[in-house]
Amino acid sequence: MCGVFGAFTQNGGPVLEDVYLGLYALQHRGQESAGVAWVDDNNAIRTQKGNGLVHLALDQEALAKIDTRCAIGHVRYSTAGGSDPRNIQPLTASNSRGSVAVAHNGNITNAEALKQYLENRGAIFHSLTDTEVLLHLMAHQPHKPMIDAFVDSLRRLKGAYSLVMILDGKLVAARDPWGFRPLVIGQRDRIIYVSSETCALDLVGAKALREVAPGEVVVIDKDEIKSIRIPVQTKCHYQCSFEYVYFARPDSILAGRSVYAVRKALGHCLAKRAPCLSANMVTGMPDSGTIASMGFAEGSTLPYEKAIVRNRYVGRTFINPTQRVRELGVRIKLNPIHDLIKDRKIVVIDDSIVRGTTSQRIIAMIRAGGAKEVHVRISSPPVCFPCYYGIDTPSRVELAAARMNIKELEKIIGADSLEYITVDDLVQAIGLPRNELCTACFTGEYMEGETQDELEL
Amino acid sequence: MCGVFGAFTQNGGPVLEDVYLGLYALQHRGQESAGVAWVDDNNAIRTQKGNGLVHLALDQEALAKIDTRCAIGHVRYSTAGGSDPRNIQPLTASNSRGSVAVAHNGNITNAEALKQYLENRGAIFHSLTDTEVLLHLMAHQPHKPMIDAFVDSLRRLKGAYSLVMILDGKLVAARDPWGFRPLVIGQRDRIIYVSSETCALDLVGAKALREVAPGEVVVIDKDEIKSIRIPVQTKCHYQCSFEYVYFARPDSILAGRSVYAVRKALGHCLAKRAPCLSANMVTGMPDSGTIASMGFAEGSTLPYEKAIVRNRYVGRTFINPTQRVRELGVRIKLNPIHDLIKDRKIVVIDDSIVRGTTSQRIIAMIRAGGAKEVHVRISSPPVCFPCYYGIDTPSRVELAAARMNIKELEKIIGADSLEYITVDDLVQAIGLPRNELCTACFTGEYMEGETQDELEL
Amino acid sequence: MCGVFGAFTQNGGPVLEDVYLGLYALQHRGQESAGVAWVDDNNAIRTQKGNGLVHLALDQEALAKIDTRCAIGHVRYSTAGGSDPRNIQPLTASNSRGSVAVAHNGNITNAEALKQYLENRGAIFHSLTDTEVLLHLMAHQPHKPMIDAFVDSLRRLKGAYSLVMILDGKLVAARDPWGFRPLVIGQRDRIIYVSSETCALDLVGAKALREVAPGEVVVIDKDEIKSIRIPVQTKCHYQCSFEYVYFARPDSILAGRSVYAVRKALGHCLAKRAPCLSANMVTGMPDSGTIASMGFAEGSTLPYEKAIVRNRYVGRTFINPTQRVRELGVRIKLNPIHDLIKDRKIVVIDDSIVRGTTSQRIIAMIRAGGAKEVHVRISSPPVCFPCYYGIDTPSRVELAAARMNIKELEKIIGADSLEYITVDDLVQAIGLPRNELCTACFTGEYMEGETQDELEL
Amino acid sequence: MCGVFGAFTQNGGPVLEDVYLGLYALQHRGQESAGVAWVDDNNAIRTQKGNGLVHLALDQEALAKIDTRCAIGHVRYSTAGGSDPRNIQPLTASNSRGSVAVAHNGNITNAEALKQYLENRGAIFHSLTDTEVLLHLMAHQPHKPMIDAFVDSLRRLKGAYSLVMILDGKLVAARDPWGFRPLVIGQRDRIIYVSSETCALDLVGAKALREVAPGEVVVIDKDEIKSIRIPVQTKCHYQCSFEYVYFARPDSILAGRSVYAVRKALGHCLAKRAPCLSANMVTGMPDSGTIASMGFAEGSTLPYEKAIVRNRYVGRTFINPTQRVRELGVRIKLNPIHDLIKDRKIVVIDDSIVRGTTSQRIIAMIRAGGAKEVHVRISSPPVCFPCYYGIDTPSRVELAAARMNIKELEKIIGADSLEYITVDDLVQAIGLPRNELCTACFTGEYMEGETQDELEL
Ligand SMILES: Nc1ncnc2c1ncn2[C@@H]1O[C@H](COP(=O)(O)OP(=O)(O)O)[C@@H](O)[C@H]1O
Ligand SMILES: Nc1ncnc2c1ncn2[C@@H]1O[C@H](COP(=O)(O)OP(=O)(O)O)[C@@H](O)[C@H]1O
Ligand SMILES: Nc1ncnc2c1ncn2[C@@H]1O[C@H](COP(=O)(O)OP(=O)(O)O)[C@@H](O)[C@H]1O
Ligand SMILES: Nc1ncnc2c1ncn2[C@@H]1O[C@H](COP(=O)(O)OP(=O)(O)O)[C@@H](O)[C@H]1O
Ligand code: SF4
Ligand code: SF4
Ligand code: SF4
Ligand code: SF4
Ligand SMILES: [Mg+2]
Ligand SMILES: [Mg+2]
Ligand SMILES: [Mg+2]
Ligand SMILES: [Mg+2]
């Protein structure tokens, strides 16, 4: 998971600082590194990049002073390529035709094959990112105008990409034909923005205009906002359903649906599908289970309490996994309120179970705090399949729900009961037609046409 | 506001890493700087200190490797003395008699006079902290055993101090005779801990034993836990009521009262004292208003929604107050969920109003989001007086509630209605006798005996 | 000017630390940045790089712990590309055929044309160095064995290159057919070294075996040291004569000639060619004029004094060119010993005059110190032409000796007399045949065949 | 050994940047840390300090922008107190009477006793420096004017101090009654400077006015330069003779004697006292033996060669003493020029032998380089006693010349012959009366009155 943001102004304004602030609002989509790129007075592309959170990686004060008409940015989720600075996006390339910078959310599933093909034609890869494939595809079509080389390159990509780019001094946004990751266009006066989520538009004071459609390329320059189709046919869309369940911020709107409202609905669903009449109280795993647990409380007759406190600094601070820290485990992050759980029967709602180890430890901690019963309810279906579209889910053998049935899992995590919603519940709570949504990590139904085509550049 | 933590072990163990983790749990009490001090093999005191959050200021990995039997730590709230490294606590001093390190939460009200007196006797002050006065008072009694010099020095201090110290290689805790700031003793196996709040004991897996009593000095060494009285008479106690309302973490227990439960009770109180029958919905200002708003919802018939989303990274990240950031104001930090507030009449609960500017901006933002009415309810009485006991409240002229009556304030912040609870409500919600609590910032009833006594060392 | 160093061991040993130390001995060849590359256990190439002096740019302690059989390093002279980390060498590239790292001393004169050609075939350049051209030339011959692609690429290069590379896990050294920059092979037990100068071999305790010949590629692996010819015909060699005059360290041996001995001989020459009988004393501009001035003293009847003291820290420390620093000028760096110069007639020897501004300021300072006469003697011919072979000499319009005759220059720098040696003197002092030496910056006789050939890959 | 520098201006000017530059010129007197202090607009004292060389420890650019009329600075030699930032000078103290900052070159021999005394009166020491004693002595006389408290405090100090201070907003310089360390006053227009050596006056373009006399306090304010006597009687002076031999820069003038000229004279002396007729050549250990070796060559009939090259970056760069570095030993630092030493009989001149290990290693290296004979001549008498006056000489048991006679030492270091000059030679070469010079490290004749007097403040 990553976040992208871009801004273009027709008549000046603090677009680079707005990109900084946009990334700050998208920080939940990636904490590993951050970067920005912008156009300087000579139409050359400049960058600033760094590891860690936005405010550590980038120098707000310096950026605020830079005058540019077009800028983009990226926050990167922790991935294998790790902390190598060459992997920090935006990636850039320039040659006599011009310069390009690209920020990418998603994962190109045929990147390995394309890389092989390009290396056989002399390409030298400098990063370990799948994104770099795009730059080489473009470079290997040197005699076309850049925008044509770009669209032609997209045609060869499989998988998920929501891109924000600087190209020919213009702001270009593109979304793969399946629409896996969100991408939305906003406006404030004469500045046009592109963002992964609407919450970042809110922060910079912009209004959401519309989403970039699956398969659309949007080119923003000083005269107009132009739309181009990527020449790829798809039978249906694959908008990621997990964005609603977990990734996106609750104050964002995706495909016209409020994430907050969807999470509430998931809680209602869960209360109907898997009530827990004997319990005294509902609580949510902070933060991802909070809203669904409020929905569950509303949908059942149980009172809702914020019974588990999450240390505010967790997730932004790096605690070394020393011997002592491993011993303390989940306490470092979470603390139940003893008064509330003592001698009570509790329903705990979370968004999902991945490996199951965290759930196990929290349940143990709640029991140690004196709870009589701990019932677990999950506001999504069991995650049984890896995601190849930009989420670092573990392989099947590590996915708890892929390795055992629910009863076994219930036992292993130590819950008095464990229940999930169904895929139908999920689709219904989201409110989009089923064939517009990706549910592959729940169902294994990946997008079609995964095989590598024979394409000659 | 600051946080202090200490640990002493009789038979080894990771006490220095536990102090690090304890500070991490107390991070909400101070983000300006952090420091630790410990005893090395030669009974000398070593320190590590730095600016910013615990994980930036201190090197967990290095600390985890250090073997010591006694260690203390401190997180400091932003104050005037600012980022000068000399002000970072623990402060230390050593001479032929031995070494001492001190971490202090509170504020000594007669520090200036004592400093004058000590300088006239040749003392050189190296920091700008009131805490250093204590070290010089002790040094100026060179012929007494250190613990006697310490207790005799405390006798001369007015105001608030919850101290954790290393003294003669022992762990010493002390709390002023009025009991302003909390201080609690915990235990895990053969390790004794002292902490500002119980939440930090929870994190390190310790059980709370009891509080350090107002006017008590506790000396912990390898043989025993000894208790000494500070020879000062007081008519009553002044435990800070604002700790319950705002400072302390909701999962802490102060003087036997759960902070969460008190906040819930404050919300119930407020619903009774100042209901808002016309509204459609209650929400809380995150995070400080959250629990009270849940109490308000329970106490009224209104549904509770988490309608305002706080950026998780705010408060841990420094955003430069550039022109653009000032323009965006509270958006940088908070975002209302548009779906929820559009065309609704909303009650917003917060813990307090200090200058009123933030309230004003949030109300405006909620209205801009389409809310029909915005009613504000505050879960404490109006703050009309400055605090001299360790909180950086502004002077009276800046306190909104000191400058105008509630109706005027309601108008200024732009609320459709504004209401508070009373001091009696507050005392009742806390559940301690009124003469055990400080309410000076609400009532102006400061502790007595504020005048400087003529003491000769 | 840059410095390169490499090491390969057949049976273990601290080769990476030796590369560090070799660079330390070559530090005078470049202070802008430093980098090392080595082969890890999986035959992958790892690097460490940084700006500034070797000890700041690299982490000796970390490198000393790494076990590798093959490593190279580079120190870079300040150039236009500046402090951008992407320009720090060794450059690396890897693909399915294997990995390559390259450290380059020299300058490829047809780099721009080759870059154009390669970009038209899809290459993306990541640095601003001429060196990267080589990597792309190799990558664009993907179906040849790497060593063949390498030699074939060298064939297309014009200009100066002394290269140390890791290629296929082997240590490869190469020197352009003209032999501009030095490159020497050394040995210590079973470790083979390649270095820009012999002084670095001395430091690591190695013996010089022989030079890499102009036009030779040397491939060092665990079985043998193999030699390949670059298939380019040249009529003569162009070993840089300025290395003797200025660049190389006095304790190095180039092409069998001791730099110290050559500098002494230049001083003797100068004493014969341009004596200064009326003077009382000879001194040298530290450090570059020192040895020649000792030779001059020997060759004349004048006493030698170290009359100008150079601040030891100059050149390793960055002094900001503030207003005040500009005002103080050369004083920041040099200080004449007043006792010695007062009322004396002085001969000052330097290696060369480039822009003339430094000479002017020093002469003024010596006069201000009370000298009666200041005669300047230069131990090389006038520098009238820019160097295109790896030295950042300014363009002709900035070269003092290109803009005016010697009498004019004498007047401008304020000398009582100014004299040079001739090109014949220089050649004779070096002791190599004239057609083995480059003297282009003195004579304008650049190597032939500068034009770009039409080569298809 | 340390260096101090101060500047006061009556009508503006870049005094703080000049202090920076002065320290840069005095860098050879201390590389461990550097610091500056200055007076701000409110007459408060501000400081900037850091570890390492001046350009790393201090921020020239920031200092250049600060406007102040009075500033001082200090470079510290590596000492036991090590890298603790609290030990970096200038030390400061302030109280209601005013502020003081002090930079100290020398060593107070009764510091321990005074510290004891002061701690018994309540003083808390914050650094491990002997210098801090002075600040407490002043603070313990709170009812006197500061300058009186200062002079009265000096009266109680034994040993060596050359001080530069800010006191009452004035620039104050003081030199102990014995005159151990140099201190000189200079002037440029309306700026008055105080410096350890004249070379720093040269750098800032100032003229030396006169030395601060032993036992003199100089007070510089906007109206005048006032002189006060320290009320201590001494029979003779103890100006450090080793400053001429080793510490001071050759371009400095101490007590009217040129350091360069003294070193030359020491070489002539040595040639007379201990000629070496069989040798072919003289060389000097760089850098400390260079000038004496030139004197030796002049005084004998032998030619002088710079046969040993010292890596320019040594001494400013930290090379970790890894296994490999220990193995390479002195090669890291020095390299003999093989052509020059091969089959020759060589005289090597150095300034002194302390532990003897370096000499041993260099002689071995020169022999390994092919020299037939290596004769060592030392331009000072044998160092047999530790220095208590500001030089970190090792204790007697570690001093080679204290543990054995010269013949034994000759054998241990592996020289074909080893000879020294006498104390009389030294005194004569310096040209000051014997009773004005300290020669204690050669003779053991320490200053008298070393015992602690009973002084009551
Ligand atoms: N500012 C915010 N306020 C509320 N929720 C947020 C905010 N930012 C991100 N989130 C939500 O936090 C959840 C992830 O946090 P959490 O569950 O605590 O971490 P994790 O499960 O990754 O350890 C996601 O569901 C995301 O929607
Ligand atoms: N881990 C935590 N979980 C919930 N609340 C917390 C936590 N840590 C601190 N708090 C509470 O947060 C409140 C302060 O946060 P907030 O209102 O967002 O900041 P402020 O009002 O200072 O801008 C306090 O009431 C404190 O009790
Ligand atoms: N360790 C060394 N000892 C003596 N000379 C050196 C050393 N390292 C480099 N040099 C010589 O120093 C000269 C360059 O120094 P210098 O003249 O002071 O600097 P510049 O002229 O570049 O300002 C070169 O001639 C080089 O050969
Ligand atoms: N800029 C300079 N030029 C020449 N000599 C210097 C300079 N700065 C310091 N010195 C001299 O260098 C000598 C110390 O250097 P060196 O002998 O190389 O180091 P050490 O003996 O401490 O290892 C001293 O005698 C000092 O006078
Ligand atoms: S597999 Fe799951 S996480 Fe991945 S895109 Fe599809 S729904 Fe989203
Ligand atoms: S004045 Fe207010 S904040 Fe201060 S201690 Fe008293 S109750 Fe607490
Ligand atoms: S032009 Fe001059 S500096 Fe350049 S290689 Fe030729 S001789 Fe050397
Ligand atoms: S003992 Fe030696 S080094 Fe110390 S002051 Fe005296 S002469 Fe100088
Ligand atoms: Mg979660
Ligand atoms: Mg708040
Ligand atoms: Mg030079
Ligand atoms: Mg020396």
CA C278 / ligand 11 centre spacing (Å): 25
* D322:C61 CB<8 A: yes
Query: For residue D107, which of D443, D446, D369, D348 has the smallest C-alpha distance?
Result: D446
Place of tokens 């140099």: D182
* B324:A294 CB<8 A: no
Helix (H) or strand (E) holding A207: strand A207-211
**Looking at residues A75-80, what average pLDDT do you find?**
79
Helix extents (H) in B140-179:
146-154
- Number of folded domains in chain D? 2
CA A446 / ligand 5 centre spacing (Å): 9
CA pair distance A427, A436, nearest whole angstrom: 10
CA pair distance A182, A200, nearest whole angstrom: 13
Helix (H) or strand (E) holding B204: none
Check whether A451 has a pLDDT greater than 50: no
CA pair distance C207, C203, nearest whole angstrom: 10
SS3 C294: helix
Helix extents (H) in D252-405:
259-273, 290-299, 323-328, 338-341, 357-368, 400-403
Per-residue pLDDT reduced to its tens digit, B379-421: 999 999 999 999 887 888 889 999 999 999 999 999 999 999 9
Q: Judge if A192 and A264 occupy the same domain.
A: no
Check whether C80 has a pLDDT greater than 70: no
Whether B242 is in a domain gets the answer no
Q: Judge if C224 and C273 occupy the same domain.
A: no
Whether A247 is in a domain gets the answer no
Residue C61 DSSP code = H
Helix extents (H) in C370-434:
400-403, 406-413, 423-430
Would you put residue B122 in left (φ > 0), alpha (ψ -120 to 50) or beta? left
| Rg for chain D, CA atoms, rounded | 23
Q: Which amino acid is at A337?
A: I
Would you put residue A144 in left (φ > 0), alpha (ψ -120 to 50) or beta? beta
- Count CA atoms within 13 Å of residue A177 on its CB side: 18
Whether D248 is in a domain gets the answer no
Q: Judge if C330 and C279 occupy the same domain.
A: yes
CA pair distance B150, D283, nearest whole angstrom: 66
Kindly indicate the confidence band of residue A455, based on its pLDDT and cuts at 50, 70 and 90.
low
Which chains neighbour D (Cβ–Cβ under 8 Å, 3 or more pairs)? B, C
Q: Judge if A265 and A409 occupy the same domain.
A: yes
Q: Which residue of B has its CA nearest to A57?
A: B317
Check whether B84 has a pLDDT greater than 90: no
Cα dihedral B57, B61, B63, B64, rounded to 10, equals 140
Q: How many CB atoms lie within 10 A of CB B67?
A: 12
Cis status, amide bond into D303, omega within 30 of 0: no
- Among B312, B324, B336, whose Cβ lies nearest the Cβ of A17? B324
Q: Which residues in C134-160 are b (16+ Cβ under 10 Å) and which e?
A: bbbbbbbbbeeebbebbbbbbebbbbb
Cis status, amide bond into A90, omega within 30 of 0: yes
- Among D294, D316, D335, whose Cβ lies nearest the Cβ of C251? D335
Cα dihedral A418, A422, A427, A433, rounded to 10, equals 170
CA pair distance A197, A22, nearest whole angstrom: 9
pLDDT for the residue numbered B455? 57
Q: Judge if A347 and A387 occupy the same domain.
A: yes
pLDDT for the residue numbered A82? 62
Percent helix, strand and coil across chain A, each rounded to 5?
A: 30, 25, 40
Whether D380 is in a domain gets the answer yes
SS3 D19: helix
CA D311 / ligand 12 centre spacing (Å): 13
| CATH code at position B209 | 3.60.20.10
CB D317, CB C55: distance < 8 Å: yes
Check whether A84 has a pLDDT greater than 60: yes
Kindly indicate the confidence band of residue C455, based on its pLDDT and cuts at 50, 70 and 90.
low
Q: Judge if B164 and B274 occupy the same domain.
A: no
Q: Which amino acid is at B192?
A: I
Q: Residue whose CA is closest, atom 8 of ligand 8?
A: D240
Place of tokens 């005040």: C324
Q: Judge if C282 and C203 occupy the same domain.
A: no
Interface probe for D, chosen from C254, C291, C313, C330 (most Cβ of D below 10 Å), is C313
Between these two residues, C95 and A230, which has the higher pLDDT value? A230
Per-residue pLDDT reduced to its tens digit, B300-312: 989 999 999 999 9
Task: Show the domain range for A121.
Answer: 2-234
pLDDT for the residue numbered C85? 86
Q: Is D438 labeled as ligand-binding?
A: yes
**Looking at residues C310-315, what average pLDDT do you find?**
86
Whether C221 is in a domain gets the answer yes
pLDDT for the residue numbered A17? 97
Please name every residue paired with D102 in a beta bridge, in sequence order, or none if there are none. D91, D165
CA pair distance C53, C72, nearest whole angstrom: 17
CA angle C413, C397, C290 (to 5 degrees): 45
| CATH code at position D344 | 3.40.50.2020
CA pair distance C135, A119, nearest whole angstrom: 13
Question: C-alpha A214: how far from its chain's center?
Answer: 16
CA B311 / ligand 2 centre spacing (Å): 13
Cα dihedral C327, C328, C333, C334, rounded to 10, equals 130
Which sign, positive or negative, has the C-alpha torsion A187, A188, A194, A200?
A: negative
CA pair distance B90, B37, nearest whole angstrom: 6
**Looking at residues C196-219, what average pLDDT do you find?**
98
pLDDT for the residue numbered B447? 87
CB A297, CB A348: distance < 8 Å: no
Provide the ipTM. 0.90
| Rg for chain A, CA atoms, rounded | 23
Residue % of chain A over a pLDDT of 90: 88
pLDDT for the residue numbered B450? 46
SS3 A258: strand
Check whether A425 has a pLDDT greater than 90: yes
pLDDT for the residue numbered C393? 79
Q: Which residues of chain D have pLDDT under 70?
A: 79-82, 315-317, 449-457
Q: Which amino acid is at B222?
A: K
Per-residue pLDDT reduced to its tens digit, D125-180: 999 999 999 999 999 999 999 999 999 999 999 999 999 999 999 999 999 999 99
Which chains neighbour C (Cβ–Cβ under 8 Å, 3 or more pairs)? A, D
Interface probe for D, chosen from C15, C16, C311 (most Cβ of D below 10 Å), is C311
pLDDT for the residue numbered B451? 38
Please work out whether the CB of residue A104 comes within 6 Å of at least one atom of ligand 1: no
Q: Judge if A154 and A35 occupy the same domain.
A: yes
**For residue C139, which residues of chain A lie inside 8 Å, CB to CB?**
119, 122-124
Query: For residue A241, which of A76, A431, A376 has the smallest C-alpha distance?
Result: A431
Whether D317 is in a domain gets the answer no
Q: Judge if C322 and C173 occupy the same domain.
A: no
CB C127, CB C91: distance < 8 Å: yes
Q: How many CB atoms lie within 10 A of CB A325?
A: 18
CB C430, CB C244: distance < 8 Å: yes
Please work out whether the CB of residue B438 comes within 6 Å of at least one atom of ligand 6: yes
Kindly indicate the confidence band of residue B80, based on its pLDDT and cuts at 50, 70 and 90.
low
Per-residue pLDDT reduced to its tens digit, C334-346: 999 999 999 999 9
* A324:B291 CB<8 A: no
Q: Judge if C213 and C310 occupy the same domain.
A: no
- Among B60, B316, B325, whose Cβ lies nearest the Cβ of A316? B316
Helix extents (H) in B155-251:
198-203, 242
A–C interface: beta-carbon pairs under 8 A: 57
Token reading at C285: 């501009």
What crossing angle do the helices spanning D406-413 and D357-368 adopt, rounded to 10°?
Answer: 50
Q: Judge if C25 and C170 occupy the same domain.
A: yes
Whether D243 is in a domain gets the answer no
Name every residue whose Cβ is closer than 8 Å to that of residue B7 and which is 6 or more positions away in sequence. B15, B16, B18, B19, B22, B70, B71, B72, B171, B191, B192, B193, B194, B204
Place of tokens 């694959």: A238
Token reading at B2: 């600051």
CB A115, CB A121: distance < 8 Å: no
SS3 B130: coil
D276 is an active site residue: no
| Rg for chain B, CA atoms, rounded | 23
As annotated, the binding site of C for [4Fe-4S] cluster includes 240, 387, 438, 441
Query: For residue C349, which of C251, C246, C247, C235 has the smallest C-alpha distance?
Result: C246
**Looking at residues C26-43, what average pLDDT do you find?**
95
Whether A42 is in a domain gets the answer yes
Q: Judge if B202 and B289 occupy the same domain.
A: no
pLDDT for the residue numbered A395? 82
Q: Residue whose CA is closest, atom 5 of ligand 7?
A: C240
As a whole number of Å, the end-to-end CA separation of chain A is 30
- Count CA atoms within 13 Å of residue A406 on its CB side: 14
pLDDT for the residue numbered B85? 86
Q: Which amino acid is at A16?
A: L
Interface of D with B (CB under 8 A): 85, 93-96, 116, 119-126, 135-136, 139-143
CA pair distance A213, D266, nearest whole angstrom: 88
